[in-house]
Amino acid sequence: MSTQPANMPDRAVVQFNCHGVATGKMRNELEVTMVKPFKESFTMATDEGAFHGGDATAPPPLAMFVGSLTGCIMTQIRAFAKRLDVTLNDLQVDTRVKWDWQATGRTYETAPKSFEIDVMIDSDDPIEKVRELVATAKKGCFIEQTLGQQNTINHRIKTADGWEVA
C-alpha cells in the first residue's frame, strides 16, 4: 500500500523543460515548464552584472542555482516533516557553494570546489527524529541528488541541416 498523497503515483518521471530567449545585453527570459507528472509553468529571468557586460536586472544564474539548492532541501524538510511526524518550530538553512575559476586566454574555465549546507531545525522532537528527517530530505531533494553523482550533459547545435552534437 502506498504512503504517497492521493494525487501522486508510486513512481513517475519528473521532467522540466526550459526555453530561453536572449534579451538585452546579457538578460535571458526563461519559460520553465514542468511537463511530467503534472503541468506547471514559470517565467523567470537571469542577467549578469558589469563583469559580463550585463545590467544586473535579474539574478545571475549562479545565484538562482544556489537559491534552488537551498530551497529544494528546505522544501523537502518541510514536506517530509509532516509525513514523518516531526515538529518544525523553525527552519533555517545556510548554503555555501564554491567553484574554482581560472582564466584561459580570453575566456575562463570553472570546476566545482565544495557544497556546504548547514541545517538549523528548532524541534520539540528527539534529535534522532530530526536526523532521520534531514537524511530523508537529502534523498528527496532532486538538486542535491543530481549534484551527488556524475552526470552526462549533452549539447546540440542547430544547423541548417538539423541538429549536430556540440
Q: What is the pLDDT of residues 47-82, one digit of tens each?
A: 999 888 889 999 999 999 999 999 999 999 999 999
Q: CA angle, corner 120, sides to 63 and 96, nearest 5?
A: 30
Domain limits at 108?
60-152
- Residue 166 falls inside a structural domain: no
Q: Same structural domain for residues 144 and 64?
A: yes
Into how many domains does the chain fold?
2
Cell numbers standing for residue 135? 537524511
Q: Same structural domain for residues 64 and 31?
A: no
Look at residues 33, 29, 30, 35 and name the one whose alpha carbon lies nearest to residue 14. Answer: 35
Q: Same structural domain for residues 74 and 126?
A: yes
Please give the C-alpha separations between residue 48 and each of 61, 62, 65, in angstroms, as whole numbers: 8, 10, 14
How does pLDDT run across 138-162, given as a tens digit for each residue? 999 999 999 999 999 999 999 999 9
Q: Of the residues 23, 39, 59, which one is the last residue of a structural domain?
A: 59
Return the HEC string of 62-117: HHHHHHHHHHHHHHHHHHHHHHCCCCCCEEEEEEEEEEEEEEECCEEEEEEEEEEE
Q: Of the residues 16, 36, 59, which one is the last residue of a structural domain?
A: 59
